[in-house]
Homo-oligomer: A and B are copies of this chain.
Amino acid sequence: MAKIPRPKSAAPTVLRSTADFARHVGLARTTVSRVINGQPGLKQKTIDRVQRALAETGFTPNAHALHLKGKRTAMIGICMEDLLTPPAVRKLAALQRLLRDRGFSSLIEVFTPGAGRDVVRHFLSMRVEAVVFIGHFHREEIEARIAELIAHGTPHLVIDHYGLKNANTVSLDRSAGMVALLNHLLDLGHRSFGLLGIARAPESRSDRMTGINAALRSRGLDFDEATISLDHLHERRNDFDYGRKLAGNFMALPQRPTALLALNDAIGVGALRGLHDAGVKVPREISVAGFNNQDFGSMTTPTLTTIDQNIEATIATAAEVILAQLGAPARAKPLVHMIEPALVVRESTGPARSA
């Protein structure tokens, strides 16, 4: 590679090392290092001189060399299921902020299926102090990654994916969320429920099934009789359109449910739209509920009843769990934290039509 001639501007040649920098200031490397690290026994004059040069040149000690000398990396690896799910991104934002306030920087990666091993290896090669996973993952793959981390002695935490073997987790109590929602609707006289995206489901959904079941049973209702699912009609997606289409399918049924429960707010809002297009009045003719309490749910017509995830509590707990593990001896038993959700009643739920 041909050498690029240095520009002859007024700006000093870029300083790449403490040696360069010490030469530039006219002091010993040792002295410079002591100033930078705030060690005692230096003349104020020397300190000022170095500080000024530091500000002028913008010299920054090489973090990699610092780490080699034993300085902690103060980095946390955060592995996201994706960056396109708003509630997950809200958690990321909150966690990143909390960690930064505590002096940690976040190394953020997306866990594309099959590439989990690469992501974790990258984190380990960077010697992160802990790894946090946010989202819902392929069970076997993430369990393998967590086993690796444990073997490696690197603390971990999984946010949102409940029920993983040997994993430290912080998750929303989705079962309790469904119980709250069902009780609200049962109190309104509803006895038959259409499930949008909730049935036939991977783990995080089955928590919900547990909740639905429990709520129904406590009122003496049978799950199979009280619920109906049409998820098999479309390829499963988590977006507006999936809800819109499914709502249409429910309306075409001879025996319509009186309430629709959606996996999330996007599907719920899509259902509202589908019902609107079909000329069905919500909540007069049918009630609709979402999950997650995303912001747009308060802007639809009608506004959407939903379950709030309590993201602040989730992330506060997560940060605590992560930070407590740092430098502490590895725990024998995994830590499992549950976060309580909150029911948010809006306009989309009302008394059952023919209760």
Contacts and interface: CB of A to CB of B under 8 A. Distances in A.
A124 to B, nearest CB: 5
A300 interface: yes
In the assembly, how many copies of this chain are there?
2
Contact of A7 (B108, B240, B296, B330): B330
B240 A269 contact: no
B240 A295 contact: yes
Interface residues of A, number: 60
A338 interface: no
A24 to B, nearest CB: 14
Given A108-B108, A330-B7, A296 B269 contact: yes
A176 to B, nearest CB: 27
A44 interface: no
B97 A93 contact: no
A278 interface: no
Interface string A275-291: 01000000000000000
Interface stretch (A81-89, A158-166, A199-207, A314-322): A81-89
Interface stretch (A62-70, A185-193, A226-234, A255-263): A62-70
Nearest to A109: B105
A299 B106 contact: no
A240 B93 CA distance: 20
B299 A124 contact: no
A68 B65 CA distance: 7
A208 interface: no
B63 A127 contact: yes
Interface of A: 1, 4, 7, 11, 14, 58, 60-68, 73, 82-84, 86, 89-90, 92-93, 96-97, 100, 105-110, 121-122, 124-127, 148, 151-153, 239-240, 266, 269-270, 272-273, 276, 295-296, 298-301, 327, 329-330
